[in-house]
Amino acid sequence: MSRNTIITKGLDDLFIGVYSAYKFFIHFIRKAFQGPFEYREIIRQCYEVGYKSLPLITLTGFITGIVFTKQSRPSLVAFGATSWLPSLIAIAMIRALAPLVTALISAGKVGSNIGAELGSMKVTEQIDAMEVSATDPFKFLVVTRVIATTFMIPVLAMYCAFVGMMGSFVNIYQNEKTSFAAFVSEAFGQIGFLDIGTSMAKATVFGFTIGIVGCYKGYNATQGTQGVGRAANAAVVLSMFLIFIEELVIVQISNWIRYY
């Protein structure tokens, strides 16, 4: 097989994949606003995505707050500006770290789980069986999971920000003996509605991305058990890649709004 043939085949596969993803997205938009709605399954998926992720988010957020505080202190000490530490941590956690860390952790845990679960159902023909039993598998399996990740990732991101701030306070109190009231006052003095709104927008977009990518990869899995593994792996890798791209775009938009 010549090099040109390989390149042509690669481009064909790329465009076919993009078109397939586009059709999947349009199908989701149509189904998401059509009744009947699977309220019970949505609640169950919110429990799976949100509540079962709390221990991991708690540990990660707390450690992130402590580590970032430890790393930031020497630089501020050099300029005699340790009093700015609470504000610095609050800005970093709320604007960037909390939604990004939450999304990356969820992409690894939730995204891979969705891809593996739907992939397993696909290769064992359980999805086909649902169609035979007059159940809409797309609405029951895909729409519910995407809605759950879209709503729960912002909640987890705010929780991660809170836990990270608590970790930062513990470290600051041990070193500077700053009271909790002073810490809160200094931390949130520089935080505005735009910061919180941008953080929520990021987390919402990240949550939708994790859900739709995981469902797409799992729903279109092929080639038996190997396909299930590939679907789970692809869901994580592609979700993380898109999350970083979206982070860059949203930051640029928010900075444009902030300064212009």
pLDDT band at 220 (very low <50, low <70, confident <90, very high): confident
Whether this model's pTM surpasses 0.85: yes
The torsion angle over the Cα atoms of residues 192, 58, 174 and 75, rounded to 10 degrees, is -60
pLDDT digits 0-9 by tens, 223-235:
777 778 888 888 8
Q: In this model, does residue 162 exceed pLDDT 70?
A: yes
- Contact (CB, 8 A) for 165 and 89: yes
Decide if 91 contacts 191 (C-beta within 8 A): yes
3-state secondary structure of 18: helix
User: Could you report the per-residue pLDDT of 18-46, keeping only the tens digit for each?
Assistant: 888 888 889 888 888 887 788 898 999 99
Cα gap 189→201, rounded to integer Å: 21
**pLDDT band at residue 10 under the 50/70/90 scheme:** low
Q: Does residue 1 register a pLDDT over 60?
A: no
Mean pLDDT computed over 86-102: 89
24's CB contacts (< 8 A; 6+ apart) are 212, 216, 219, 220
165-177 pLDDT, tens digit per residue, is 999 999 888 888 8
Which amino acid is present at 201? A
Q: Is the pLDDT of residue 156 over 90?
A: yes
Judged against a pLDDT cut of 70, whether residue 3 lies above it is answered with: no
